[in-house]
């Protein structure tokens, strides 16, 4: 574990505070849902269900502070961009390829906005994630069209997590949540100009992850 006596829970909370200070415009999204360190062996890195975020204790322990901030930003931007609902038709067509396309878009954005000063870095175990400068300026659909087909077929990891591929690519895992639940969270944070991060409850049990 990095930073001596800090627990993984404390390090995660510290990362969130630092991000709020660095990028106040993300504060409202960071306030949505809960954030949890988990010892569940099925969670190998981190995932979001579009509202809540879950982080593997052992994975968090393997990251330095800048890498942990990158991981948190990765989950937060997937919530912000509403990837499950925006690209539902892509998930149904090829979930694995949609995973990779969304991650390329997210990781390019984080590198461009937060890595120049070392605040959030895609280094260490994160270095093998989906990141290719040829996709700069593209959205998930455009990247999807250029990527080779995935191995998971349509429907997207129903009932299980999308794991780390042989080339070490990072995926975001999301599991749809009830719209009403997210609307309550949105109302609670509306005074802070929250950007709605919603995952419709009709998408099934697909989860996309930061693996």
pTM of the model: 0.73
> Residue 47 phi/psi, 5° resolution?
-155, 160
| Residue 202 confidence (pLDDT) | 35
| Residue 152 confidence (pLDDT) | 57
Alpha-carbon span 146 to 140, nearest angstrom: 10
| Residue 51 confidence (pLDDT) | 86
* pLDDT one digit per residue (tens) for the chain, 211 residues: 444 689 999 999 999 999 999 999 999 999 999 999 999 999 999 988 888 999 999 999 999 999 999 999 999 998 999 887 888 899 899 989 998 999 999 999 999 999 999 999 999 999 989 999 999 999 999 999 999 997 755 554 322 232 333 222 344 333 333 444 444 444 443 433 333 233 333 333 344 555 4
| Residue 209 confidence (pLDDT) | 55
CA-wise closest residue to 169 among 41, 58, 74: 74
What are residue 97's DSSP bridge partners? none
Runs of H (alpha helix) within 27-64: 27-31, 57-61
CA-wise closest residue to 177 among 56, 89, 79: 79
Residue 66's SS3 state is helix
């Amino acid at each position: 574990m990095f930073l001596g006596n800090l627990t993984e829970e404390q390090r995660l909370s510290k990362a969130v505070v630092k991000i709020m200070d660095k990028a106040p415009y993300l504060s409202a999204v960071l306030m949505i849902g809960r954030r949890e360190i988990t010892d569940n062996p099925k969670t190998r890195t981190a995932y979001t269900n579009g509202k809540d975020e879950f982080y593997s204790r052992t994975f968090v322990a393997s990251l330095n502070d800048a890498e942990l901030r990158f991981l948190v930003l990765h989950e937060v931007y997937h919530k912000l961009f509403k990837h499950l609902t925006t690209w539902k038709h892509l998930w149904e067509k090829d979930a694995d390829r949609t995973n990779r396309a969304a991650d390329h878009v997210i990781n390019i954005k984080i590198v461009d906005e937060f890595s120049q000063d070392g605040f959030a870095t895609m280094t260490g175990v994160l270095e093998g994630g989906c990141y290719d400068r040829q996709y700069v300026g593209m959205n998930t659909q455009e990247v999807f069209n250029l990527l080779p087909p995935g191995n998971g077929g349509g429907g997207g990891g129903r009932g299980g997590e999308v794991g780390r591929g042989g080339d070490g690519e990072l995926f975001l895992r999301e599991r749809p949540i009830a719209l009403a639940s997210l609307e309550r969270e949105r109302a609670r944070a509306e005074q802070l100009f929250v950007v709605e991060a919603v995952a419709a409850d009709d998408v099934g049990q697909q989860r996309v992850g930061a693996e």
